[in-house]
Structure 1
């Protein structure tokens, strides 16, 4: 079982673990239901939509690396609020981050908060952000918004955990290369997984 709160848990066999890259899962998640989507919102949306049709999970868990100049490198942050940070149609009179004619709020709120973890707001976009300077979101990634939106529309429970690998600054690329492999170990510890496929 994966325990979200004292009152809420899900059977491990019914959970879909979604990663952008195999390196973020490493061998910690071997034998579990994993989905490697590739990088970016389009890849994430396409691969998750296919997986939902075939696997019909009871819970989608998005795990991966992310940048932040608010949290510390090595922190694992639970995100249940999401912004599409590269959506900008202000030229047509819409607000920054607003998806025109979608009936979706700028701040998409969907997903569980996990006991014992800090919470953050994830800004998702199709670029590797290295000059983060806004306060509307404090975690930066490239897939979570799309995954959360699909989970919400399909009415599937969602959990998003992000391992802070870099500061979303000038050193982001170098820091990410060093830190990304540590994400799977951190997730395995939090979710009580081991290589024998046992959860506590």
Structure 2
């Protein structure tokens, strides 16, 4: 090899070695630890009890499920609960709606942001209820909140901080700061 061939070969070798040394490292993209199992849009889900009676229906604009954590996140959620009245053998229908919801397991549903509960059957003392956060135990059909809750019924408006209610036994317990207005109107 003569000098004419050795100089370009040497420069090329130096350039390759510098390129390897200063080569930019590929940045690894940080992946999320928890990937959703599925994402569903316009979700509709229906559950039945052991007797085959309609128990509840869930409607959501979007649902994201993480099966490894047993959590499902909902957006624009509506839950319809059917409570069978054993004496009259007909269901009382309740609808709970919110902007966001988190289902833990298959039973505990936390609703948040603009939460409304309505009695669609119009057969209970409480007709509507609203708060900013509400927990529903779906199997037990129990509602609870630690925040300010307002509810209305025929000829009554009430509010209180913290409450627990059973749709099955038709009980409502308000923890503190209860205020009530009774209306003397014929409806």
TM-score normalised to structure 1 length: 0.22
In terms of fraction of residues, the more helix-rich structure is 1
Q: Larger RCO: Structure 1 or Structure 2 (Cα < 8 Å, ≥ 6 residues apart)?
A: 1
In terms of fraction of residues, the more strand-rich structure is 2
